[in-house]
Amino acid sequence: MIVFPAIDLRRGRCVRLRQGRAEDETAYDDDPAAVARRWVAQGAQWLHVVNLDGAFGDGHGTPHGSRRPINLQRLEEIHAAVPETPIQFGGGVRSLADAEKALSLGARRVILGTVAAQNPDLVAEAVRRFGAERIVAGIDARDGQVATHGWRQTSDTGATALGRAMRLRGVTRAIYTDIARDGMLTGVNAEATAALARFTGLRIIAAGGVASLADVARLKAKADGSIEGVVIGQALYTGAVSLPEAIRAAGQTSSEPHP
């Protein structure tokens, strides 16, 4: 099982939010590339990078004199800092052009969340154009219902229904986030994660709520080949979990192939 350290970007800085609330932000570092180097030095084989400004639709923050949003600049800088480490990138990727841009700036694969719920056929086109290994569905749920637009809107679609729709359109992998737990250090929802994998046939990466190594161990115990990884954010930044220990708990080895 792969451990994905999270690097959440807001106005170019590395931050963490609680339950995705923009008003409940803690800034951790002004240099996301340095954060990326730190996680890779500690053994990270993948990085999970999110453009929060893009997810919120907040204009992406384009600096004066630049034509590129600052968080896309940060993506490019992270890739330059750790060029051998694959990056999983999401947040505001809502068109084929957005996906292509992120891939061109160094992302190995992109996460389609809001657009997956609103325009699943576009996701199918992305899979055809870029390949299933480069497209990930983002399934973010609050009380079992899918949330979109930076988690500000809740839809009538259930997480399992969206997962099945994505599988029918050629998607093989999804990130599942239990929003109520994200950034709260209350424990990962291992049962819902395993159920989503079982009922959809997708390989699932769990996100939201990891508080301790016990959470990583619980996910690994339920993995059965279908839970592919876990995203860890707040617990790493607060020191509640050390990345090397999480990697060992996940059973990840240096020779494990990149999924």
Burial class (CB in 10 A: 0-12, 13-18, 19+), 87: buried
Give the strand pairing for 109-112 and 87-90. parallel
- Residue 105, token pair as written in the block: 């700036």
- Contact between 126 and 135 (Cβ < 8 Å): yes
Q: Cα(48)–Cα(159) distance, rounded to whole angstroms?
A: 21
Is 8 an annotated catalytic residue? yes
Specify whether the CB–CB gap between 78 and 106 falls below 8 A.
yes
Helix (H, G, I), strand (E, B) or coil at 155: strand
- Contacts of residue 91, defined as CB under 8 A and 6 or more positions apart, other chains included, come to 9, 50, 51, 52, 53, 54, 55, 71, 111, 150
Q: Could you confirm whether 224 is annotated as catalytic?
A: no
User: Which run of H or of E encompasses 13?
Assistant: strand 13-18
Residue carrying structure tokens 């399934």? 139
Measured N-to-C along each axis, helices 120-130 and 96-104 cross at an angle, to the nearest 10 degrees, of 40
Among 80, 75, 76, 165, which residue's Cα sits nearest to residue 118?
Answer: 165
| Catalytic-role residue among 8, 98, 178, 182 | 8
Strands 2-10 and 13-18: antiparallel
> Out of 140, 178, 182, 215, which one is annotated catalytic?
140
Q: Enumerate the active-site residues.
A: 8, 140
